[in-house]
Amino acid sequence: PGSARVFSGIQPTGVPHLGNYLGALENWVALQNQYPSVLYSIVDLHSITQAQHPDQLRNNILDMAASLLACGINPEKAILFQQSQVSEHAELCWILGCLTSMPRLRHLPQWKMKSKEKNEGSVGLYTYPVLQAADILLYKSTHVPVGEDQVQHLELAQDLARIFNNRYGELFPEPRALLSSTRKVKSLRNPVTKMSKSDPQTMATISLTDSPDDVALKIRRAVTDFTSEVTFDPETRPGVSNLVTIHAAVAKLSVEEALSQAGGMDTGAYKGLVSEAVIQRLTPIREEIQRLRADRAHLEGLLAQGKHRARELAAPVLAEVRHRVGF
């Protein structure tokens, strides 16, 4: 449909890991070819809900931009921009926050999890889902690729669209979730938890810029069990099943096809096959990230273009919101 618009965001955590790529970014690349209007935002306003070192944050923003481009995000097909450069996000967040009750936020998963970790969370962490709603509604987005963990946050965006429309007249479409693949890449050290950037064990996570040697070492050391056969049973054999998941995903095979390639191998030999497949898939991405990273001015120029294109869409929507509210 002509008015369909996709919006998604990712925090500037530097170079993404294999789980981010296979669970989210690969799908982002597909969506830019399927939808007429697509925006991808590096959500730096969200990232300061946790303490960030300023120089590190600046680097991480550029590293994420380089990574998204290297993964295949095409600025001709998707507007790639830095959230804080479009101040309309923060302004709409304030207005939507005034339509959000405190209890509505208290039970959302991210707050429950992260505020507990810290004992006390900031107001920003508490209202994080309102900013997400603002990100989406600011562009009258209709489709939002999200992981399962974000579904409740998207429901808040839907509620806020409805609440705004009821109070001020129809303006926002209710955004729909595009559940990205339910594929979850697990930690290589503890395969019952997901691969995550916050994992303190560096051997648990494969970064898109890991060298072939690093990839091979991490996969060789990946935790498996005492059965040498290669089978797929995530419940009882999470370690080897995670390797099958990774193999299938990077080589674009079904699980059955991956297993048949493993035919007769023990887990040790299979690890060699999996690391070859991962290295083959990541090498062009790693090389492109390194090439792009070396030219900060080019990346900053691309983000400046993205900012202008995003603002062109955001400004008239926010102007209409301001008018409806009475400003």
Instruction: State in angstroms the smallest separation of the CB of 116 from ligand ADP.
Output: 16
Cα separation, 227 vs 240, whole angstroms: 9
Beta bridge partners of 6: 38, 143
String marking each residue 182-201 x if it binds ligand ADP according to CB under 6 A: -xxx--------xxxxx---
Measured from the CB atom, the residue of 109 and 272 that comes closer to ligand ADP is 109
Distance CA 299, CA 81 (A): 11
Q: Backbone dihedral region of 75: left (phi > 0), alpha (psi from -120 to 50 degrees) or beta?
A: alpha
b/e sequence 41-61, b meaning 16+ C-beta within 10 Å: bbbbbbbbbeeeeeeeeeebb
Residue 189 one-letter amino acid: R
Closer residue to ligand ADP, CB minimum distance, 76 or 235: 235
Residues in contact with ligand ADP, shown as a per-residue x/- string from 139 to 178 under the rule CB under 6 A: --------x-------------------------------
Looking at beta carbons, which residue is closest to ligand ADP?
A: 23
DSSP label at 5? E
The nearer residue to ligand ADP, 147 or 234, going by C-beta atoms, is 147
- Tell me which of 77, 194, 252, 271 is the catalytic residue: 194
Check if 194 is active-site. Answer: yes
Please name the helix (run of DSSP H) or strand (run of DSSP E) that holds residue 67, with its range, or none: helix 54-71
Cβ-based nearer residue to ligand ADP, 154 or 321: 154
Q: Which residues are catalytic?
A: 114, 194, 197
Q: Residue numbers of the site for ligand ADP (CB under 6 A)?
A: 10-11, 13, 19-20, 22-24, 147, 183-185, 194-198
